[in-house]
Amino acid sequence: MDPLLFALLVLLLTGILVGFASGLLGLGGGFLMVPVQFWLLTSLGLDPTLAIRISFGTSLAVVIPTALSSAWGHHCRQCVLSRPLFAMILPCILGGFIGATVTTHLPGRWMAIFFGTVIILAALRMGTEVPLRPVRGTPDMLPLWQYILWGLLFGSISGMLGIGGGIIMVPVMVSFMRFSMHEAIGTSTALMIGSALSGVLAYIANGWGAAGLPPGSLGYVNLFQWLPLAAMSIPMAQLGVLAAHRLPQEHVRVIFTAAMALTGVWMVLSGIR
């Protein structure tokens, strides 16, 4: 099979899985997009440092329209909480820009290992999660400073690792911020829009004019990879939202936990080699 056709098919399939994961579990899908893109780019002979930065930047660019589609679906089902969203969105945007800027100045192998380690830890957290006993109250009752700190953390992780941040946000919101599962999924998906947008701008600005960029690149965002990923993930996000409100999430969570763990291990090994 022609290498370019094979790469296109892989990206289209990845986009389908990413969109469904976004709508179903509030995940940006970076845990799938980054390893797939990194593998494709390095297999074509691209330098690993350049490949990981393009993978991060392009992944965040896909998160923007996918999260928009998913967040709208959850909003229509009243699962996006407005006060927590507005309190965290600006810190999340700032954190996304800072995190992405830091990543563009670090060695690619370090970032591959760091990415893989975070994904493995998130998989362990998701797979062994025992929800804490909820504190009486609702998310709207938390102090403003807590939202600001969490927003900065969520955005920074999103920008640094090229992920939407749902793998961190959803467990934190459920266990520490008094969200229900559906509220955490819906609100985290809406937050991804801001952190991903600022992160993308940072990857474009810091990668503008960098040597060795493949064709179709705007800084560290590659449009040829973005298009098939986004084309599949946007409509599939709506299907994921529908499934989130109809399927038992425990079974699906096991599948995605296993996928996260495997991709995390693979990325760590790629960085070590």
**Spans of the chain, pLDDT less than 70:** 1, 26-28, 126, 129-140, 164, 245, 247-253, 255-256, 271, 273
Residue 28: per-residue pLDDT = 67
Residue 134: per-residue pLDDT = 46
Residue 180: per-residue pLDDT = 79
Per domain, the residue ranges of the chain are: 3-272
Cα–Cα distances in angstroms (integers) from residue 215 to residues 203, 205, 212, 221, in the given order: 16, 17, 9, 11
Residue 135: per-residue pLDDT = 47
Residue 136: per-residue pLDDT = 44
Write the DSSP assignment of the chain as a string of letters.
--HHHHHHHHHHHHHHHHHHHHHHH---SHHHHHHHHHHHHHHTT--HHHHHHHHHHHHHHHHHHHHHHHHHHHHHTT-S-HHHHHHHHHHHHHHHHHHHHHHTTS-HHHHHHHHHHHHHHHHHHHHT--PPPPPSS-GGGS-HHHHHHHHHHHHHHHHHHTS-SHHHHHHHHHHHS---HHHHHHHHHHHHHHHHHHHHHHHHHHHTT-TTPPTTEETTEEHHHHHHHHHHHHHHHHHHHHHHTTS-HHHHHHHHHHHHHHHHHHHHHHHH-
Which two three-digit tokens encode residue 266? Answer: 């693979």
Residue 125: per-residue pLDDT = 72
